[in-house]
């Protein structure tokens, strides 16, 4: 692949968007490779993903403005559909995805970070949805996910005003979980991913599904989503061993994903 690097470190997969010429902006080719990478993740051997951008300046500087500049209405809609499909695959990937935001996260860059389960960022990161300054709306889910992740008035201020925010503000409003010096960001993201990967994989996946599906439901229905997933964990080898180990006052010797 030209624009996406994939590495495996133990149970953790690391996806790096690598298009330095355009600050890792997402054109059709990058989206295609990203989708193929996500589709190709081995869910038997991978328990968490870290998603980052190559270089020290940019995570993703948005969708590719040069490519978008001549699109018709129908082509614009199709481009949005394509990005949304890929980002929804990230959001609904059975295993957790951590965004390590190493710089600019603008437009499609902010949107891809918001499709991840957890965002960590460098103190140099910049977040925003500057699309209205280009004559368009956010197109890869920004109006929907930002308004769900931060107070809706803040999302509206950022989107209507094309106001970018720095790392400390992103932390203050809960858009990111933590801020690190750039050189500590990737190690921190990998460490968190490895911590997640140490837990019972079937249970972690069930938690992701329960949280994501439950958030779309009313509470009476949402707790049923959890009940079913809670039940599904019983009689797995990992549940039997996890509880046995606790009762025998010893540590589990590696969950098996069974
Ligand atoms: N699309 C295409 N090319 C881009 C790009 C983008 N989103 N962002 C940066 N680039 C390119 C620049 O055109 C430039 O290319 P050349 O060297 O060939 O001229 C190269 O990357 C380096 O960029 P700059 O020289 O501009 O770097 P800078 O440090 O001066 O500025 C920046 C950095 C503030 C991020 C600036 O590049 C910028 O404002 N980029 C655009 C950000 C943006 O508006 N993103 C939203 C896009 S719309 C979108 O994403 C819609 C959607 O929701 C689907």
At which residue do the structure tokens 């149970």 appear? 11
In a domain, 258, yes or no: no
- 140 CB less than 6 Å from ligand 1? yes
Q: Which of 111, 183, 209, 227 is catalytic?
A: 111
Residue 140: closest CA among 116, 174, 167:
116
CATH of the domain at 238: 1.10.12.10
Ranges of H-type helices in 92-218: 108-115, 142-149, 152-161, 167-172, 182-198, 201-215
Q: Which of 33, 35, 91, 131 is catalytic?
A: 131
- Is-above-0.95 flag for pTM? yes
pLDDT, position 38:
98
- Choosing from 19, 25, 76 the residue with most ligand 1 atoms within 8 A of its CB, the one to mutate for a pocket test is 25
Residue 241 appears among annotated catalytic residues: no
Query: What is the pLDDT tens value at each position of the chain, 258 positions in all?
Result: 999 999 999 999 999 999 999 999 999 999 999 999 999 999 999 999 999 999 999 999 999 999 999 999 999 999 999 999 999 999 999 999 999 999 999 999 999 999 999 999 999 999 999 999 999 999 999 999 999 999 999 999 999 999 999 999 999 999 999 999 999 999 999 999 999 999 999 999 999 999 999 999 999 999 999 999 999 999 999 999 999 999 999 999 899 999
SS3 194: helix
Contact (Cβ atoms closer than 8 angstroms) between residue 9 and residue 187: no
- Same domain assignment for residues 22 and 109: yes
Dihedral sign computed on CA atoms, order 69, 32, 116, 182 = negative
In a domain, 81, yes or no: yes
- 83 CB less than 6 Å from ligand 1? yes
- Same domain assignment for residues 181 and 206: no
pLDDT, position 229:
98
pLDDT, position 29:
98
pLDDT, position 77:
98
How far, in Å, CA of 192 to CA of 118, rounded?
A: 10
- Same domain assignment for residues 193 and 221: no
How far, in Å, CA of 180 to CA of 101, rounded?
A: 10
- Same domain assignment for residues 34 and 144: yes
Residue 248 appears among annotated catalytic residues: no
Provide the residue range defining the domain that includes 52.
4-197
- Same domain assignment for residues 94 and 180: yes
How far, in Å, CA of 120 to CA of 169, rounded?
A: 13
In a domain, 84, yes or no: yes
Quick one: CA torsion of 247, 249, 251, 257, rounded to 10 degrees? 0
pLDDT, position 114:
98
Distance linking the first and last C-alpha atoms of the chain: 32
């Amino acid at each position: 692949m030209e624009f996406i690097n994939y590495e495996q470190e133990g149970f953790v997969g690391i996806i790096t968007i690598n298009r330095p010429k355009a600050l890792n902006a997402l054109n059709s080719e990058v989206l295609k490779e990203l989708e193929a990478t996500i589709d190709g993740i081995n869910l038997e051997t991978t328990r968490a993903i870290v998603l980052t951008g190559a270089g020290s300046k940019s995570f993703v500087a948005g969708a590719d403005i040069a490519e978008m500049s001549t699109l018709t209405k129908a082509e614009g809609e199709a481009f949005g559909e394509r990005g949304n499909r890929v980002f929804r695959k990230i959001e609904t990937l059975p295993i957790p995805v951590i965004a390590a935001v190493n710089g600019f996260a603008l437009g499609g860059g902010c949107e891809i970070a918001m499709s991840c389960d957890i965002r960590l960022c460098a103190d140099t990161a910049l977040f925003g949805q500057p699309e209205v300054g280009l004559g368009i709306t956010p197109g890869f889910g920004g109006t929907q996910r930002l308004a769900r992740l931060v107070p809706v008035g803040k999302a509206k201020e950022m989107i209507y005003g094309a106001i970018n925010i720095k790392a400390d503000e992103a932390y203050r409003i809960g858009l990111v979980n933590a801020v690190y010096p750039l050189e500590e960001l990737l190690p921190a993201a990998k460490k968190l991913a490895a911590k997640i990967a140490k837990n019972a994989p079937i249970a972690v996946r069930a938690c992701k599904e329960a949280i994501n599906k439950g958030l779309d439901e009313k509470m009476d229905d949402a707790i049923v989503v959890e009940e079913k997933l809670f039940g599904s964990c019983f009689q797995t080898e990992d549940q039997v061993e996890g509880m046995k180990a606790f009762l025998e006052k010893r540590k589990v010797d590696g969950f098996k994903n069974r």
